Amino acid sequence: MHTGILTGVFGFTTAALIAVLFLLWREWRRTATLQRVGLQLNSTIKRDELLRIIMETSAETMRAEGSSVILADEERGDLYFQVATGERNDEVREIRLQKGEGIAGWVFEHGTSVRIADASRDPRWSNRVANRVNIPTRSMLCVPVISNGKTLGVLQVINKKGGGRFSRRDLRLLEMIASPAAVALENMHLYEALIRTMEEVRVTTAAKERMESELKIAQDIQRSWLPGDSLATDRIELHAELVPARVVGGDFYHFIRLDEHRLLFCLGDVSDKGMPAALFMSGLMIWIQAKAGSDRPPSRILSDINAEISRTDSAMFATIFLAVIDIRTGTIRYVDGGHCPPLIAGPDGVRKLPTVKKLPIGVFEDEVYEEMEYALKPGESIVLYTDGITEAENGRGEWYTADRLIGTVESVRTGTPADVARRVLEDVFAFASGHPQSDDIAVMVLKFRD
């Protein structure tokens, strides 16, 4: 009876209704799979863990007997098997291919995905890998892994379980998996490049030359990771300033567009100065990019970053204020990792933003960060700063203080973010009157416009 009603009202037959429901269910399952894959890939940027996750996820999702990530070696100009699932992955790891060799080499060279029912009959097939490890290859999917227009490698799965063949839908799903995998691999390469830089500085630089070269390298590293000093949309305007105390320092800021409607912004202070602080800051910026996501709350982002940093051998830590703003409504969700309390400035005056203050990141791995929310009114700004401002000293040993900062912001509370930031710096330097400062100075102002 119910089926008859649906048929009469909507013109659906029972078979058509079942087909529509099946398509909806299949689309939901694919979306859920991709969301799960994205969360898994965001969990780490360490090579062994990341490649293992990519392989296990690909094989499990595609119901394949084996899978591998084939990466490009920029120095040697060829491809190499970094990881493969199955019993003989140690042998596979040793094999290298020319960029045009075999099906994987062809996919890398042309940037085109392939679906092959019988690999041995394909003219592009190279049996060097199969002969080396004695693994017969029947069906295969092979897709390029591309980030920012650059092909990083190839993602490959072989032999559908149960003896079946991979479908076009399987190929499309593997291409979708390759997209977040590319972002994760790019973050991995950035992280490894940073580690190599740190090791090279530690091993190759000596005495006086080391001091000079470290400062130059650290300055370049620090500047390269800052996202710029300004950002503007139709509803928000942002400006930031950073003044290191010793050429380079530990203060940092970052802002990232998470999606069309959300912006992540943060400002913090690393516990050290000079080269160690600059390198620690750079690693922290990578973790922020790796953990940030439009569907992840600030408390989760900061907790994950803290867990990763706390597991390293470094004894450094960082205070940080991290927030995500909905640029349509001005609503800010934020967490405070032991940082200076931000100020809210607008037509109604200047006041401190209430926060739940937690420990800095890098102290305890299991620290839980609590999230709060505030809705900026049109015309209001949020002002972030480091203690290099409030603890700036003059020649008499007096501090600038938070009260003086509030008074300075009060004098320019309705101005643009650039006006506010520069007015603060001008007053701090006038107060110090040329006295050398021992701490870095950073300020960020974000305004929700009418």
For residues 314 and 357, is the Cβ–Cβ distance under 8 A? no
Residues 6+ apart with CB under 8 A from 186: 147, 148, 152
Range 25-30, long-range pairs (CB < 8 A, 24+ positions): 30/173, 30/176
Q: What is the pLDDT of residue 89?
A: 52
- 3-state helix vs strand vs coil in the chain, percent to 5: 45, 25, 30
SS3 352: strand
Closest CA to 403 of 357, 365, 351: 351
Torsion of CA 421, 427, 432, 436, to 10 degrees: 20
The position carrying tokens 């105390």 is: 245
- Domains recognised in the chain with CATH numbers: 1-31 (no CATH), 44-187 (3.30.450.40), 207-448 (3.60.40.10)
Q: Is 440 exposed, middle or buried (0-12, 13-18, 19+ CB in 10 A)?
A: buried
User: DSSP H helical segments within 257-297, as ranges?
Assistant: 274-291
Report the phi/psi class of residue 191: left, alpha or beta, with left for phi > 0 and alpha for psi in -120 to 50: alpha
317 vs 8: CA distance, rounded Å? 67
Q: Determine how many CB atoms are found less than 10 A away from the CB of residue 199.
A: 10
448 vs 351: CA distance, rounded Å? 16
Residues 6+ apart with CB under 8 A from 427: 404, 408
The position carrying tokens 């943060």 is: 266
Which H or E element spans position 262? strand 262-270
pLDDT by position in tens, the chain (length 450): 444 544 544 455 766 656 555 555 555 555 555 556 655 666 677 777 777 777 777 777 788 888 888 888 888 888 887 555 555 555 555 678 887 888 888 989 888 999 988 887 888 887 776 666 566 788 888 999 888 788 888 888 888 888 788 888 888 888 888 888 888 888 888 888 888 777 777 666 555 565 566 666 666 666 676 788 999 999 999 999 998 776 556 788 999 999 889 999 999 999 877 677 777 888 888 899 889 876 889 999 999 999 988 887 777 899 999 999 999 999 999 999 999 999 999 999 999 999 999 999 999 999 999 999 999 999 999 999 999 999 999 999 999 999 999 999 999 999 999 999 999 999 999 999 988 887 889 999 999 998
150-160 vs 114-116, strand pairing mode: unpaired
Q: What is the pLDDT of residue 30?
A: 53
Q: What is the pLDDT of residue 9?
A: 46
**End-to-end Cα spacing for the chain:** 56
The Cα angle at residue 53 between residues 87 and 129, in degrees rounded to 5: 40
The sign of the dihedral angle between the CA atoms of 101, 107, 110, 115 is positive
349 vs 353: CA distance, rounded Å? 12
